[in-house]
């Protein structure tokens, strides 16, 4: 099958007063070990840094270090004329076609800013991404819990229940609809949030896509109530894993039914010593878990082996759909003449048991610890180089390349430079889409 594409990682991410421990070398090495051959990370501006500078900072961190190909989304932590100009340059000259905005955290944007950013994405032919949770409600809920003495990791989920995620999903969809902008909702963690997405889609159609995470498909929020702080804090991310034990299966069924389209890992790893920053206040536990290495195996186990999705759908949700949405198809996400040679030979009969003792990531904890998965990559070919050979990992630092994710025309359509999507007609003829490219592309998806 085509190599996995993980469109959601955070390597070397300075966040919540610390920095994620998987760097671009360990992160991409681990990705390959698990059958992923392309990752898309998030360039995040430090305080005072512009989006364009953040992009360059991330290129410097990653180029020469990555073992597999990578692309970049750029995070917008505010809205101004400068941000708007940077978006123009990022799309025109830097191979960026996606921008993430946050509806919570210190750097959340308000509805008017979302509107402006979405509108500009639309004009550029870019995709808007949102972290959908109502940040203002979370602040209030968390303050109340802390005042009542609920300071442990269990307070994290209690302060950000499903409806707080669902409300933000609906609001983001409504705003995107006003300006007809394609919207991609990252890390959807609850049934209620996905229902909000689907209800919007049913009513209005439109280009709205949903991503969920490997962790959300395999584990639930009861882990965050574990008596051991390190264990509980090790499972904290946002939006949170849900205490409803049915959630992982429901999310897998949403993927099966094409209500959700993509799976990522949101790999954003912190050691136990870093998680301990929130020992006395759950609001200070650095948010994030592992997954870049185990995503493919975990989804195979919980999806295909469990009989919920078939192998074709597995390929769609772990590779092809991300390639299509981020305009990398057919270069990535398919095995075809002319595509990059990113190929995985998957042994569905073999099993492996996940453990921090044997994983290739830098982090000292693994949320899938002890889980036995069917589905192991026997060979992983990254852009023509055999990097897993009969199960043996042989990566090369710097073998990966930065991959441009071109915007969708008409904004800057240059057939010399940008990969075009082909429409295959029933009579076998193939046509290049140049008119209304974005619409055709996303509808075909």
Binding site for ligand URP (CB under 6 A): 10, 131, 187, 237-238, 266, 268, 287-288
**In the complex, what is the shortest distance from the CB of residue 238 to ligand URP, in angstroms, rounded to a whole number?**
4
Scanning 112-120, 259-267, 378-386, 437-445 for contacts with Zn ion by CB under 5 A, the matching segment is 259-267
For the CA atoms of 165, 242, 215, 328, what is the dihedral angle to 10 degrees?
-20
- Give rounded-to-5 percent helix, strand, coil for the chain: 40, 20, 40
Inter-residue contact 312 to 304 (CB < 8 Å) = no
Cβ 36 vs Cβ 60: under 8 Å: no
- Choose the contact partner of 295 out of Zn ion, ligand URP, none; CB within 5 to 8 A by kind: none
- CB 68 → ligand URP: shortest distance, Å? 20
Q: What residue spans of 102-190 are helical by DSSP H?
A: 111-124, 135-147, 154-159, 162-179
- Between 159 and 339, name the residue whose CB sits nearer to Zn ion: 159
H or E stretch including 83? Answer: helix 81-93
Whose Cβ is closer to Zn ion: residue 339's or residue 405's?
405
Residue 222 carries which DSSP code?
G
Within 59-119, strands assigned E span: 69-76, 98-102
Residue 73 contact partner, candidates Zn ion, ligand URP, none, CB within 5 to 8 A by sort of partner: none
Contact 160, 140 (CB under 8 A): no
Output phi, psi for 22, to 5 deg: -75, 120
Phi/psi for 115 (5° steps) reads: -60, -50
Residue 241 C-beta: closest distance to ligand URP, Å: 10
Helices and strands, number each (H, E), in the chain = 16, 16
Cα 190 from Cα 202, distance rounded (Å): 18
Residue among 74 and 237 whose Cβ is closer to ligand URP: 237
| Cβ-based nearer residue to Zn ion, 106 or 443 | 106
SS3 146: helix
Name the residue nearer to Zn ion (CB basis): 54 or 371.
54
Dig out the tokens for 18 from the structure. 């610390």
In angstroms, give the least distance from the CB of 37 to ligand URP.
22
Q: How far is CA 285 from CA 100, 203, 232, 272, 404, in A?
A: 22, 38, 10, 10, 34
| Least Å from the CB of residue 289 to ligand URP | 7
Choose from ligand URP, Zn ion, none: what does 288 bind? Cβ within 5-8 Å by kind. ligand URP
Based on its alpha-carbon atoms, the radius of gyration of the chain, rounded to whole angstroms, reads 20
Residue whose Cβ sits closest to Zn ion: 131
Q: Given the complex with ligand URP, which of 191 and 268 has the nearer CB atom?
A: 268
Out of Zn ion, ligand URP, none, which partner does residue 231 contact, by CB within 5 to 8 A per kind? none
Cβ at position 145, least distance to ligand URP in Å: 18
- Crossing angle of helices 111-124/81-93, nearest 10°? 30
Cβ 30 to Zn ion, closest distance in Å?
16
Pairwise CA distance, residues 334 & 195, whole Å: 30
The answer to whether residue 324 forms part of the interface with Zn ion (CB under 5 A) is no
The item of ligand URP, Zn ion, none sharing an interface with residue 287, based on CB under 5 to 8 Å by kind, is ligand URP
| Distance in Å, CB of 105 to ligand URP, minimum | 7
Q: In terms of CB distance, is 154 or 340 closer to ligand URP?
A: 154
What is the distance between the alpha carbons of residues 115 and 113, in angstroms, rounded to a whole number?
Answer: 5
- Smallest distance from ligand URP to CB 194, Å: 17
Q: What's the closest the beta carbon of residue 266 comes to ligand URP, in angstroms?
A: 5
* Shorter beta-carbon distance to ligand URP: residue 145 or 237: 237
Q: Which does 237 bind (CB under 5 to 8 A by kind): Zn ion, ligand URP, none?
A: ligand URP
- Cβ 92 to Zn ion, closest distance in Å? 10
Peptide bond into 239 cis (omega under 30): yes
CB-nearest residue to ligand URP: 287
Structural contact between residues 380 and 46, judged by C-beta atoms closer than 8 angstroms: no
329: its two tokens: 């198809």
Q: Which residue has the tokens 């870049």?
A: 292
In the complex with ligand URP, which residue's Cβ is closer, 42 or 413? 42
Of Zn ion, ligand URP, none, which one sits near residue 9, judging by CB under 5 to 8 A according to partner kind? none
Question: For Zn ion, which is the closer residue by CB, 131 or 332?
Answer: 131
- Pick from 266, 294, 301, 340 the residue near Zn ion by CB under 5 A: 266
CB-based contact 200:225 (threshold 8 Å): no
Cβ proximity to Zn ion, 291 vs 333, nearer residue: 291
From the list ligand URP, Zn ion, none, partner contacted by residue 278 (C-beta under 5 to 8 A by kind): none
Q: Hey, which residues between 118 and 147 contact Zn ion (CB under 5 A)?
A: 131
- Contact residues toward Zn ion (CB under 5 A) are 131, 266
């Amino acid at each position: 099958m085509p190599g996995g594409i993980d469109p959601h990682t955070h390597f070397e991410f300075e966040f919540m007063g610390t920095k994620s421990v998987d760097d671009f070398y360990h992160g991409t090495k681990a990705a390959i070990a698990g059958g992923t051959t392309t990752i898309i990370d998030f360039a995040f501006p430090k305080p005072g840094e512009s989006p364009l500078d953040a992009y360059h900072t991330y290129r410097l961190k990653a180029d020469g270090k990555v073992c597999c190909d990578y692309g970049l989304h750029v995070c917008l932590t505010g809205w101004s004329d400068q941000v708007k100009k940077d978006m123009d340059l990022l799309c025109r000259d830097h191979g960026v076609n996606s921008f993430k905005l946050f509806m919570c955290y210190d750097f959340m944007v308000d509805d008017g800013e979302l509107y402006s950013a979405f509108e500009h994405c639309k004009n550029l032919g870019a995709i808007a991404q949102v972290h959908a949770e109502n940040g203002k409600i979370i602040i209030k809920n968390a303050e109340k819990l802390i005042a009542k003495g609920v300071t442990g990791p269990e307070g994290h989920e209690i302060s950000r229940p499903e409806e707080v995620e669902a409300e933000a999903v609906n609001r983001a969809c409504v705003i995107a609809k006003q300006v007809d902008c394609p919207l991609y909702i990252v890390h959807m963690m609850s049934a209620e949030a996905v229902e909000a997405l689907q209800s919007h889609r049913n009513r209005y159609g439109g280009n709205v896509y949903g991503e969920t995470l490997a962790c959300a498909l395999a584990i639930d929020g009861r882990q965050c109530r574990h008596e051991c702080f390190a264990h509980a804090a090790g499972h904290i991310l946002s939006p949170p894993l849900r205490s409803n034990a049915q959630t992982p299966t429901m999310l897998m069924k949403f993927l099966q039914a094409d209500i959700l389209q993509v799976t990522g890992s949101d790999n954003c790893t912190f050691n136990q010593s870093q998680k301990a920053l929130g020992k006395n206040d759950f609001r200070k536990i650095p948010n994030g878990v592992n997954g870049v290495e185990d995503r493919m195996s975990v989804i195979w186990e919980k999806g295909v082996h469990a009989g919920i999705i078939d192998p074709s759908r597995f390929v769609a949700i772990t590779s092809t759909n991300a390639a299509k949405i981020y305009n990398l198809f057919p270069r990535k996400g398919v095995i075809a003449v002319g595509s990059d040679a990113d190929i995985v030979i998957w042994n569905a009969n073999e099993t492996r048991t996940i453990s921090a003792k044997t994983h290739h990531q830098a982090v000292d904890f693994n949320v899938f610890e002890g889980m036995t998965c069917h589905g192991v990559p026997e060979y992983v070919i990254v852009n023509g180089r055999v990097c897993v050979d009969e199960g043996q990992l042989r990566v090369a630092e710097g073998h990966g390349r930065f991959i441009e994710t071109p915007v969708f025309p008409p904004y800057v359509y240059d057939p010399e430079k940008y990969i075009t999507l082909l429409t295959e007609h029933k009579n076998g003829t193939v046509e290049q889409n140049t008119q209304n490219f974005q619409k055709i592309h996303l509808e075909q998806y």
